[in-house]
Amino acid sequence: MGYDNMRLEKGMYREEGKSFSQVLESLDPSEHYRGTALEGTDAFQRQLKRFDIRVKGAGSSSVEKFFRTMDSAVLFPEYIARAVRQGMEEGDILPGITATTTVIDAMDYRSIYSVPTNDDKALKHVAEGAAIPATQVKTKEHLLSLHKRGRMLLASYEAIRFQKLDLFSVMLRQIGSYIQKMHLQDAVEVLLNGDGNSNPAQVLTAGEAPIGGESGKLTYEQLVNFWGQFTPYEMNTMLCGTNSMTKLLKVPELQNPLTGLNFQGTGKLASPLGAQLLRSDCVADGKIIGLDRRYALELVQAGDVMVEYDKLIDRQMERAVISSIAGFGKICADAVKVLVL
């Protein structure tokens, strides 16, 4: 079956365990186009070409072009989902604070964890015939909370039918950005207070042992003391709000020429302790979250971006919901600590 004569229908969004794009790909595999002009395109992009729908650029099509035929109308929800997903990925810092991503097909999820004692962490010599030290992995007592985050599309078909897809995509990417910020708020909440399984982050306060110094101020010595609390983990990421980031950047050791050159050349910030600095206003002023991103947080997703495809295909867009379901779980509680200035 070629891409130019494929029958498209609503039921392709309802296939269990498969997204619309995966259904299209199974019917029209991309590997069949190697060495052709369509190499590098996926099945959805080939369907856009089939109906001459251009979603970006100066010559982008209008929204109404999706609805010239019933087959092309079926593509509209996937276009919405892809544009929203692109907005979620733009400027997304979740990959910088999550160790792994788990995709599930349910609303309930129970993760695993390990809480090694100091004796477990010690690298002991194992004599011949002696017992091998063990690391116990357990199932968490409480289920992880998954949250549905979304926005409602409040636009009638008549209002947007003549709008160019390039401009409409900007609006959809903004929706994706809002959704992703809500997920980040959930992630910060779990980093600080745990996932409901008695695993909040250890809080260390400036002016008190072992951080030392003065409360309300931030010095290089305090950062070093904070860094030293992560053994045997590594503080390779620091997450904080704008005001706290400003204080960090004013630490003299962060103002050396090499640090400034790296920031000006790449736009990436780095601390003198080798940690990546990430800014988010989801973190309250006066707090700096330090973590070992390799062991700290698990992102759990219940499927992909979801759209109310029936409404969108039938041009009933006034109250069409676009949503994403995700939750977060602590993997190693000791891999996250909070510095309160």
What would the pLDDT profile of 286-300 be if each residue is shown by its tens digit? Answer: 999 999 999 999 999
pLDDT (0 to 100) of residue 123: 60
pLDDT (0 to 100) of residue 253: 75
Distance CA 144, CA 104 (A): 12
User: Is the pLDDT at 100 greater than 90, yes or no?
Assistant: yes
What would the pLDDT profile of 142-196 be if each residue is shown by its tens digit? Answer: 778 888 999 888 888 888 889 999 999 999 999 999 999 999 999 999 999 988 8
Find the mean pLDDT for residues 61-75: 94
Q: What phi, psi does 248 have (nearest 5°)?
A: -60, -45
Q: Which range scores top for mean pLDDT: 51-55, 127-131, 330-334?
A: 51-55
Find the mean pLDDT for residues 41-46: 93
User: Is the pLDDT at 127 greater than 70, yes or no?
Assistant: no
pLDDT (0 to 100) of residue 15: 87
What is the SS3 string spanning the chain?
A: CCHHHCCCCHHHHCCCCCCHHHHHHHHCCHHHHCCCCCCCCCHHHHHHHHCCCCCCCCCCCEHHHHHCCHHHHCCHHHHHHHHHHHHHHCCCCHHHCCCEEEEECCCCCCCEECCCCHHHHCCCCCCCCCCCCCCCCEECCCCCCEEEEEEEECCCHHHHCCCEHHHHHHHHHHHHHHHHHHHHHHHHHHHHHCCCCCCCCEEEECCCCCCCCCCCCCCHHHHHHHHHHHCCCCCCEEEECHHHHHHHHCCHHHHCHHHHHHHHHHCCCECCCCCEEEECCCCCCCEEEEECCCCCEEEEEECCCEECHHHHHCCCCCCEEEEEEEEEEECCHHHEEEEEC
In DSSP terms, which residues pair with 151 in a beta bridge? 322
pLDDT (0 to 100) of residue 335: 93
pLDDT (0 to 100) of residue 129: 67
User: Is the pLDDT at 321 greater than 80, yes or no?
Assistant: yes
Find how far residue 208's CA is from the centre of its chain.
34
What would the pLDDT profile of 241-289 be if each residue is shown by its tens digit? Answer: 999 999 888 888 776 656 555 655 665 655 667 888 899 999 999 999 9
pLDDT (0 to 100) of residue 270: 57
What would the pLDDT profile of 213-241 be if each residue is shown by its tens digit? Answer: 888 889 989 998 999 999 889 999 999 99
pLDDT (0 to 100) of residue 61: 94
pLDDT (0 to 100) of residue 17: 80
pLDDT (0 to 100) of residue 274: 81
pTM: 0.85
pLDDT (0 to 100) of residue 278: 92
| Lowest model confidence (mean pLDDT) among 30-39, 168-177, 180-189, 310-319 | 310-319
Helix-helix angle 76-89:165-193, to 10 degrees: 50
Cα–Cα distances (Å) from 199 to 66, 191, 264, in that order, read 49, 9, 38
Q: What is the percent of the chain where pLDDT is above 90?
A: 52
Distance CA 226, CA 235 (A): 9
Q: What is the mean pLDDT of the chain?
A: 86
Residue located via tokens 């005001």: 243
